[in-house]
Amino acid sequence: MEIGEKIKRLRIKLGLTQDELAARTELSKGFISQIEREQASPSIATLIDILEALGSNLSDFFAERPVEKVVFEVEDMFEKCEAELGHSICWLVPNAQKNELEPILITLEPGGASHTYDPHEGEEFGFVLRGSVTLCVGTQKYKVKKGESFCFKPSSVHYLTNTGKSEAKVIWVATPPSF
């Protein structure tokens, strides 16, 4: 672990200059600079003072946090087919229920439909990759074709149907997660 680099990231995150950190810790700007460039190592007491000035402590500073996964590969995704409804859903981000949004890829066979979703807080967004679908929101029905998108607040019952003659694929994103 690069202690100096981590101190520098904390300092910058807080919007502090080296001068300001030095003033808060009663250290010289030059010494702060040397620590951040890994040219000097602070004593434990000095490190504690620096971390206090940065709103941290030894325990949090040295805690190993798991690296957040940003890119998801095909093998990370989960697919569920529901033949009786004529659709399959592929969860594009594993464990998206823990996030603020949940993206899926829904494939609708001709005559297929998604589940019917009750009203909820948040927003819904979709982009039609292939075919066309009918978006039903309450009593309103909207035809959405390939290359078009939809976005609405789900304050009514809502679902998708494929009334066309070919398969439809839609990227559908819900906030909060509801699929």
Domains, in order of start, for the chain: 3-62 (1.10.260.40), 74-175 (2.60.120.10)
52-96 pLDDT per residue, tens: 999 999 999 998 777 778 899 999 999 999 999 999 999 999 877
Burial state string for 71-88 with b = 16 or more CB within 10 A and e = fewer than 16: eeeeeeeeeeeeeebbbb
Work out the number of other CB atoms within 10 angstroms of the CB of residue 91: 20
% residues pLDDT > 90 (the chain): 85
What integer pLDDT is reported at residue 56 of this predicted model?
Answer: 94
111-127 pLDDT per residue, tens: 999 999 999 999 999 99
